[in-house]
């Protein structure tokens, strides 16, 4: 195929699978090893040993804080949880308009309002400190926005944030109106940490593409949320629980799963696009669930055991294990989260990872501008028109 392009077209796999598009210092996913990390630290170990604010600091500043810096950073972001009055006044209308779609859809509109009310400017026009401040303001406000939209949709008044609670505990408090137990708050915090970032997934890449145009932080995050809303990306912890409900009892596991696998249906909560081993996030969340114990957890473990055996039998040669969605749903249910808030809760953690990627991308002045290979009907090459004669000056 002829082309007038100065650079040759490079054929790449569908979906850019395996294509390296940039360098990053934020983290990586090593799927064949079943390992992923934030900067130089194991993400799972961070979830086991650190608080959410520590990991947020790591992604934004590049290092884990000492106690003094942790206290300063925690106070800084906690002070940004309250919403501007203009945004607060608009939330009932946003919640009403997005009631059918849910809080995640309303969050896109609310974040746009927040960016305008806080005076977010294009990242191209501001320095690194202002970019950082804008990302902190957006991330700190996301739990307030999500919980307010949920409660308004339920006919309840929003709960004002508390600055004396951690990010995760405050999120649960604003959602339920009651201060959560330490075990529940810590379990949700560990889930949020484990899902802050996960390589160049579709929403992260979307955020970086928008950041490369120089747009403001709110625009970048709204774009990422749009990508997350797609059913091929947004995850389905609630659907994994729906699977447990549909199976019902241990004696139904084998026939239920075999029927669906043979019909070509996907078993929600199993398989991952990157991992060829057990998803390390699922392993950690299983441990958390087992710490709670109870019939629901015992049933989930038995479903996992039998489904993996059935998949190995019916799909030999393929490594299909539980992914993060399976036990995430179990853990969030144990912590009292309603199912319609499972994916919004994921977004409440991932917004920090998106923001770290926005900051990294904003430091590069080059816009992301790939090309497409045209495969439609051949277009005739136009004949250059003769130049219009310039009238002689008289």
Residue 60, SS3 per DSSP: helix
Q: What CA–CA distance (Å, rounded) separates 325 from 342?
A: 10
Q: What CA–CA distance (Å, rounded) separates 226 from 170?
A: 25
Helix/strand number for the chain, H first, E second: 16, 3
| Active-site pick, 272, 304, 321, 333 | 272
Residue 28, SS3 per DSSP: strand
Q: What CA–CA distance (Å, rounded) separates 373 from 309?
A: 43
CB 64 within 8 A of CB 126: no
Instruction: Tell me how far apart the 2 most distant CA atoms of the chain are, in Å.
Output: 100
Residue found by looking up tokens 């139904």 in the block: 252
Is 233 catalytic? The answer is no
State both tokens at 56: 């947020």
| Active-site pick, 53, 189, 304, 325 | 325
Residues 6+ apart with CB under 8 A from 93: none
Describe the strand order of the beta sheet including 35-38 as a list of residue ranges. 27-30, 35-38, 41-42
24-29-30 Cα angle (round to 5): 120
Measure Cα distances from 265 to 143, 226, 309 in Å.
34, 26, 17
**What are the residues facing 38 on neighbouring strands?**
27, 41
Measure Cα distances from 373 to 5, 102, 368 in Å.
11, 38, 17
Is 272 catalytic? The answer is yes
Residues with a catalytic annotation lie at 272, 325
């Amino acid at each position: 195929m002829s082309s007038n392009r100065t650079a040759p077209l490079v054929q790449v796999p569908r979906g850019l699978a395996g294509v390296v598009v940039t360098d990053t210092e934020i983290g990586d996913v090593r799927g064949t090893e079943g390992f992923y990390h934030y900067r130089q630290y194991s993400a799972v170990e961070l979830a086991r040993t650190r608080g959410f604010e520590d990991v947020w600091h790591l992604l934004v500043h590049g290092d884990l804080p000492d106690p003094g810096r942790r206290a300063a950073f925690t106070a800084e972001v906690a002070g940004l949880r309250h919403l501007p009055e203009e945004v607060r006044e608009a939330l009932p209308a946003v919640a009403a308009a997005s009631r059918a779609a849910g809080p995640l859809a309303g969050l896109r509109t609310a974040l746009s309002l927040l960016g305008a009310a806080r005076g977010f400017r294009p990242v191209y026009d501001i320095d690194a400190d202002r970019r950082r401040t804008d990302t902190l303001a957006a991330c700190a406000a996301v739990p307030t926005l999500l919980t307010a939209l949920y409660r308004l949709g339920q006919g309840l008044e929003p709960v004002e944030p508390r600055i004396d609670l951690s990010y995760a505990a405050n999120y649960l408090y604003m959602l339920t109106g009651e201060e959560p137990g330490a075990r529940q708050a810590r379990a949700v915090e560990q889930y949020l940490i484990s899902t802050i970032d996960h390589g160049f997934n579709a929403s992260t890449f979307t955020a970086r593409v928008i950041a490369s145009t120089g747009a403001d932080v709110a625009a970048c995050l709204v774009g990422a949320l749009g990508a997350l809303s797609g059913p091929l990306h947004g995850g389905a912890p609630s659907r994994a629980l729906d699977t447990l409900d549909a199976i019902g009892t241990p004696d139904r596991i084998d026939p239920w799963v075999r029927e669906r696998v043979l019909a070509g249906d996907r078993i929600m909560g199993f398989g991952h696009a990157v991992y060829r081993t057990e998803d390390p996030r699922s392993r950690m969340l299983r441990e958390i669930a087992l710490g709670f114990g109870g019939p629901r957890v015992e049933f989930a473990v038995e479903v996992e055991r039998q489904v993996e055996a059935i998949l190995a039998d019916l799909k030999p040669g393929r490594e299909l294990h539980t992914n993060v969605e399976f036990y995430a749903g179990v853990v969030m249910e144990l912590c009292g989260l309603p199912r319609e808030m499972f994916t919004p809760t994921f977004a409440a953690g991932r917004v920090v990872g998106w923001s770290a990627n926005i900051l990294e991308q904003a430091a590069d002045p080059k816009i992301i501008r790939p090309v497409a290979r045209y495969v439609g009907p051949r277009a005739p090459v136009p004949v250059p028109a003769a130049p219009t004669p310039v009238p002689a000056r008289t």
